[in-house]
Amino acid sequence: MPKKGSMSVAVVGGNLQGVEASYLARKAGWKVCVIDKNSSAPASGLCDYFIQMDVTSKEDLYPALNQIDLVIPALENDDALESLERYTRSKGIPLAFDSRAYNISSSKVKSNRLFEKFDIPLPRPWPKSGFPVVVKPDKGSGSEGVRMFRNYGELKATFPTLAFTDKWVLQEFVCGPSYSLEVTGIPGKYSSHLITDLEMDPEYDCKRVVAPTDLSPELVVAFNKISIEIAEALCLKGIMDVEIMLHNGVIKVLEVDARLPSQTPTAVYWSTGRNLVEILGQLFVKDYDIYKNKSIAERGVV
């Protein structure tokens, strides 16, 4: 268990996001507890102690969270997020999560409607876009469930009635290099961080994160501006990740996730020294400076 007086954080979810959160929390000098229902979750080896439990069950969260200063969700399970939000609110424990912004960003239908309202540059919607067309499920991140159709016949063979509900988004097929940018802050006070270049793989989606970016200075300015505009549109409190593709020299916003991303924050840390997880602590923990001003020995920096 964490020793009294040190900053203690619970990372809920031990997969990719949990690895990112746990690693950077340790770099911030925090005591880290990872919670996951899978005893062999990857992040279980990057923490001070591990608790195996399913936060969506009726099991009392008190034993796991009663000495915790900050809870960081590192998963995308709606039931788990609702359970954490309900419990932390009842106990007054800071939760590094903006449920309203996440609810919009986790739905491509909702987020696209919002971004169209604010003239955020998106791939053109079908049928105005013509073919090839990409069909994306409303929920899900990355390339999960995404399909491309080259002509009307292919599309109709899969969707015979062409009666698309709010479970699907149809957009023009765009291709080109991909880039990512994190934004942190609260309404009216946002900071964008380091643009990273994403190298993609047909099997594993993002396989490598590269910095510094190869974007031109003009496009760097444009990407930063768009990302801040999205944060303002979402009224974000916390962190979000914006992914774009440069299609024929034009920025197209592919995806926004109002949550701690995986892979890119560590690249940002080692390229700039900015610890995005520590920034979350500054945003959500009222008395964060008490912990920040402790000596290196007291904080246990690794």
Task: Tell whether 220 is covered by a domain.
Answer: yes
Residues 192 and 268 in one domain: no
Quick one: pLDDT at residue 278?
95
Which of the four pLDDT bands, split at 50, 70 and 90, describes residue 200?
confident
Task: Tell whether 127 is covered by a domain.
Answer: no
Task: Tell whether 18 is covered by a domain.
Answer: yes
Task: Tell whether 284 is covered by a domain.
Answer: yes
Quick one: pLDDT at residue 219?
98
Task: Tell whether 88 is covered by a domain.
Answer: yes
Above 90 in pLDDT, residue 1?
no
CATH code assigned at 31: 3.40.50.720
Residues 112 and 251 in one domain: yes
Above 50 in pLDDT, residue 298?
no
Residues 223 and 147 in one domain: no
Residues 106 and 215 in one domain: yes
Residues 106 and 249 in one domain: yes
Residues 107 and 253 in one domain: yes
Quick one: pLDDT at residue 206?
85
Residues 85 and 12 in one domain: yes
CATH code assigned at 228: 3.30.470.20
pLDDT, tens digit, 9 for 90 and up, residues 244-275: 999 999 999 999 999 999 899 999 999 999 99
Task: Tell whether 145 is covered by a domain.
Answer: yes
pLDDT, tens digit, 9 for 90 and up, residues 139-153: 876 667 789 999 999
Residues 194 and 115 in one domain: yes
Boundaries of domain holding 51: 8-97+263-299
Quick one: pLDDT at residue 295?
36
Distance CA 124, CA 7 (A): 46
Quick one: pLDDT at residue 204?
72
Task: Tell whether 235 is covered by a domain.
Answer: yes
Q: Fill in the amino acid letter for 33.
A: C
Q: Shortest CA distance to 73 belongs to which of 238, 233, 265?
A: 238
CB atoms near residue 152 (< 10 Å): 13
Residues 12 and 50 in one domain: yes
Residues 63 and 140 in one domain: no
pLDDT, tens digit, 9 for 90 and up, residues 162-176: 777 778 999 999 999
pLDDT, tens digit, 9 for 90 and up, residues 10-56: 999 999 999 999 999 999 999 999 999 999 999 999 999 999 999 99
Quick one: pLDDT at residue 290?
62
Angle formed at CA 83 by CA 80 and CA 85, multiple of 5 degrees: 110
Mean pLDDT of the chain: 90
Q: Which of 110, 142, 172 is the last residue of a domain?
A: 172
Residues 16 and 71 in one domain: yes
Above 70 in pLDDT, residue 211?
yes
Our count of domains for the chain comes to: 3
Say if CB 41 and CB 14 are below 8 A apart: yes
Quick one: pLDDT at residue 301?
34
Task: Tell whether 222 is covered by a domain.
Answer: yes
Between 13 and 292, where is the model more confident?
13
Residues 55 and 19 in one domain: yes
With pLDDT > 70 as the criterion, what percentage of the chain qualifies? Answer: 93
Report yes or no on whether pTM surpasses 0.85: yes
pLDDT, tens digit, 9 for 90 and up, residues 67-111: 999 999 999 999 999 999 999 999 999 999 999 999 999 999 999
